[in-house]
């Protein structure tokens, strides 16, 4: 029963975040739209799940999270500059996504 409860809580939390993002974007509330993806809710939640399952890989998880977050920041920086150059969202996204995939392959063994 506890397993179902955890999955239902995770489902509801994810749904709240997605619905909040959609609602805030429809009301043109750019400041809150920027904050929603940056909410550090998933880090402590995943840390809790790792600790709960008696894994001893917490240091590895934190190091991997830092590397993944750095790649995400690089993705955003590349998207920002490529969008400014092309003025096309699709092209900017595709260029930054290619770099994101490249960076993931480069650091995969370090995570």
Report how far apart, in Å, the C-alpha atoms of 87 and of each of 75, 80, 93 are.
17, 10, 11
CA-based R_g, the chain, Å: 17
pLDDT in tens, 54-104: 666 778 778 888 888 888 899 999 999 999 998 999 999 999 999 989 988
**Phi, psi (deg, nearest 5) at residue 39:** -65, 125
What does pTM read for this prediction? 0.70
- Report the helix count and the strand count for the chain, using DSSP H and E: 5, 0
Q: What is the pLDDT of residue 14?
A: 81
In the chain, the percentage of residues whose pLDDT exceeds 70 is: 89
Q: Which residues contact 34 (CB under 8 A, 6 or more apart)?
A: none
Determine the pLDDT at residue 76.
92
Is the backbone of residue 54 left (phi > 0), alpha (psi -120 to 50) or beta? Answer: left
């Amino acid at each position: 029963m506890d397993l179902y409860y955890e999955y239902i809580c995770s489902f509801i939390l994810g749904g709240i975040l997605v619905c909040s993002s959609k609602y805030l974007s429809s009301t043109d509330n750019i400041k809150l739209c920027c904050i929603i993806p940056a909410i550090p809710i998933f880090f402590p939640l995943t840390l809790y799940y790792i600790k709960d399952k008696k894994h001893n890989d917490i240091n590895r998880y934190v190091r991997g999270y830092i590397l993944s977050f750095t790649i995400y920041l690089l993705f955003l920086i590349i998207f920002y500059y490529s969008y400014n150059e092309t003025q096309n969202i699709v092209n900017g996204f595709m260029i930054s996504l290619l770099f994101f995939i490249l960076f993931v392959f480069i650091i995969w063994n370090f995570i």
